[in-house]
């Protein structure tokens, strides 16, 4: 474990708190018309092969950002738009 000596204490740096976590974040903003790629980023999807995974991710992300629970109305709209965009490519019965 790496550490920095500060006075008589050794401050340990958590390996999980390195710059690698920041590199995984999406640097761009929202596009004017939502693309398939942007919808997949919003719903945290790696592929469109599993409709159940799409539904579960949508539900989990929307519940965490729902305006009735203190979330953002704008983000909830974007999450719904992402699901609608994905539904153009996959049947979500």
CB 11 within 8 A of CB 3: yes
Is residue 93 a part of any domain in this protein?
Answer: no
pLDDT at 20 over 90: no
Is residue 51 a part of any domain in this protein?
Answer: yes
29-86 residue pLDDT tens: 777 889 999 999 999 999 999 999 999 999 999 999 999 999 999 999 999 999 999 9
Residue 30: the pLDDT is 72
Is residue 92 a part of any domain in this protein?
Answer: no
CB 40 within 8 A of CB 86: yes
Question: What is the residue range of 80's domain?
Answer: 3-87
Confidence of residue 25 (pLDDT cuts 50, 70, 90): low
Confidence of residue 26 (pLDDT cuts 50, 70, 90): low
CA gap 46, 80 in Å, rounded = 18
């Amino acid at each position: 474990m790496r550490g920095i000596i500060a006075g008589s204490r050794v401050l340990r740096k958590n390996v999980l708190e390195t710059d690698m976590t920041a590199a995984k974040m999406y640097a761009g903003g929202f596009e004017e018309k939502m693309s398939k790629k942007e919808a997949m980023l919003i719903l945290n999807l790696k592929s469109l092969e599993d409709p159940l995974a799409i539904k579960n991710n949508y539900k989990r992300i929307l519940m965490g950002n729902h305006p009735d629970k203190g979330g953002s109305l704008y983000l909830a709209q974007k999450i719904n738009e992402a699901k609608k965009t994905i539904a153009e490519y996959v049947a979500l019965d």
